[in-house]
Structure 1
Amino acid sequence: MEKILYIENIANETEVRSLFLIKRADLRSKHGEQFLYMTLADRTGTIECKVYGNRVAEAARAVKTGAVYAVNGVGKTKQTGELYIFSDSEQTLESLMNEPVTLMNGQATEFIFTPADIKGNAAELQKIVAGIINGDLRLFVACCLDQRFYECPAAIRRHHEYTGGLCEHSLETVKIALNLVETMPRTEINRDMVIAGAVLHDIGKIFCFDKVGYGYVPNDTYNLIEHITMGIMFIDEYKNLISESQLLQLRHIIQSHHGIYGDVVPLTAEAWLVNQADGASSMLRSIVDDLAETPKGQKKKGLRSEKFLWKAV
């Protein structure tokens, strides 16, 4: 079976018979009826899919996230305006219970959705890091960044939830933070520390996702420890490269970047800057991505932002 239909071309009542990457698959129940709730993806985007049938529990146990399967169904629009795929096809259940589709060389790009410019974002972020004046701190930050940082997502079902999302979010955060520094005269702010803290505030997330097949899934570290603790533990591996004062400030920025919602609130100007920039990047990206899926002239609650949004006509 070939990839003949893309998510961007699915509308209400569109007949769906195509291949999709399974990003997530959960067995759910509503009004006593079980169904398989999945997130499908291809290079044009993502879409939710609900599969019904007598064997959904069996399919839920068999299906592999990060793999490609054939899905048959029909496009449906919820009252909220959200588009999804409805399937009660035995062919879909049969597909999900069998081995996934084996892709030929070059086919994988048809199923990986990311709006991020992975190479461009990496180059821009590295240029900003190269602008850190303090040589020890500059080397420290550079040592903390590896390929996982540039490729893994920043979240699941939230902001920047795609391949390359972590780097994109970190780049947005550092650019917002530096712009805030420039707009605040008469302030004693350590610009180098702002860059280092903004770039590394979510570094622990490189330990929270595993590459499975052609996608990423959260692991036990994501569920049991979370990224803040992992980030602090990770930067300590390079603590001999910087002073105790610099290490303490970076630990504080990472520990407090969730602001009033975290265990530690920001106490330094640099920590407050990173907290505000992080919030702006994560919320605005969520809103922008939610609005992209909102019909013009309609009000809809975004899945990522969890805010009611309205899109201009």
Structure 2
Amino acid sequence: MLEVGNKFSFYGKILQRNNSTYDTYPVNVETEKQENVIVRIPEDLEISINKIYFFETETIQFKDKVHYLAKSVKLLGEMNENDARKEELLKLFYHYAPVEIEKIKKDIEETINSIKNKVLKDITQDIYNEHKEDFYLYPAATKFHHAYISGLAYHTHSMLRLAKGFFDVYPFLNEDLVNAGIVLHDICKIFEFDSYEGSEYTIKGKLIGHITMGASLIDQVATKLGYQDEEETMLLQHIIISHHYYGNFGSPRKPNIAEALIIHFIDNIDSKTTVLGEELNIVETGHLTSSIGVLERERYYKHKLTNE
């Protein structure tokens, strides 16, 4: 039983906000212990649905019941938690990429550090350093593929791994350009969505989109670094604007350099095959999946040789 005057601190996700005529308003919170509690928030403090907060509370008497009164409320991002603790909390409250973030972060940063071309490396490093915190949190889409926390980084990491096979078979490809293009091709999705939790498209995302924003960001950073007239800058921008290939999917140009074409293929392979794997994972052997939107609404058979 709760007693008045007790102090409790915990992480929780806001499930619902309720109106009130008092100087505090009640919110429904799911705690990290997966309990549902009501916390009273001061009326001058705004909170957002579906976000994780750290609550410092004290129990008070309210209408013959004991409630949690918030003394301090801070977003998870404002807390000085290490990456492992943040990942633990995100996995607890949200659908999360099936990867270890520290592992893929190490691989991605090693890839950036391995870029030998100075122009490509400087532009990629500058953009990555500025946005890496959001890069490891945002999804790659709202529903079509990698539509979960850290989906953007997971997708990027998978593409970098796939690219290694192409380098072995096609030696005319420039590894630096492909790797830089992969790291940057979707990075402006962090501006396309309103948040990394339960994301919806922003007005800017709907009207401009990550492709145009990406090409513009490369131009801004290249200009800042004095690389605005370098061919590498143009090649990176071409990769960004052409990686969806088709105009009705957002690309104003089709790929006209080998590296852009390969990135389009790798992007297509990973986005579609990842969804296929997720669908096969939820059906029994000997059955068909439901129709899959990214695969032209076809249904796929899970045969007895399918690896689990």
Normalised TM-score (structure 2): 0.63
Q: Percent identity?
A: 29
1:116, distance to aligned residue in structure 2 (A): 3.0
**How far does the alpha carbon of each residue in 1:267-294 deviate from its partner, in whole angstroms, 9 at most, with x for none?**
0011111111111111111111111122
Which one of 285, 298, 308 corresponds to residue 307 of structure 1? 298
Unaligned runs of at least 5 residues, structure 1: 1-18, 23-42, 44-63, 69-101
Q: In 1, are the aligned partners of 2:119 and 2:232 still within 8 Å (CA)?
A: no
Residue in structure 2 matched with residue 256 of structure 1 by the alignment: 242
Determine which structure has the larger strand proportion and give its number. 1
Residue in structure 2 matched with residue 158 of structure 1 by the alignment: 144
Q: In 1, are the aligned partners of 2:13 and 2:93 still within 8 Å (CA)?
A: yes
Secondary structure in 2 matching 1:142: helix
Residue in structure 2 matched with residue 120 of structure 1 by the alignment: 103
Aligned residues: 221
Which one of 219, 233, 247 corresponds to residue 216 of structure 2? 233
Q: Which has the larger radius of gyration?
A: 2
Unaligned runs of at least 5 residues, structure 2: 1-11, 16-31, 33-47, 53-72, 77-87
Q: Give the superposed CA RMSD.
A: 3.1
Residue in structure 2 matched with residue 279 of structure 1 by the alignment: 268
Residue in structure 2 matched with residue 194 of structure 1 by the alignment: 178
In the alignment, residue 301 of structure 2 is paired with which amino acid? W
Secondary structure in 2 matching 1:307: coil
Residue correspondence of structure 1 range 162-177 to structure 2 within 5 A: 162-177=148-163
1:177, distance to aligned residue in structure 2 (A): 2.2
Secondary structure in 1 matching 2:195: strand
Partners of 2:135 and 2:208 in 1: CA distance: 18
Partners of 1:120 and 1:218 in 2: CA distance: 29
Residue correspondence of structure 1 range 121-160 to structure 2 within 5 A: 121-145=104-128, 146=131, 147-160=133-146
Partners of 2:203 and 2:265 in 1: CA distance: 29
The change in CA–CA distance for 1:21 and 1:304 in structure 2 (over 3 A counts) is: farther
Partners of 2:103 and 2:183 in 1: CA distance: 16
Tell me which of the two structures has the higher relative contact order, counting C-alpha pairs closer than 8 angstroms and 6 or more residues apart. Answer: 1
Residue in structure 1 matched with residue 232 of structure 2 by the alignment: 246
Secondary structure in 2 matching 1:308: coil
Which one of 92, 115, 119 corresponds to residue 110 of structure 1? 92
Partners of 1:143 and 1:238 in 2: CA distance: 7
**How far does the alpha carbon of each residue in 1:136-181 deviate from its partner, in whole angstroms, 9 at most, with x for none?**
3212111111211121000011111111111111111222223212
Partners of 1:194 and 1:126 in 2: CA distance: 15
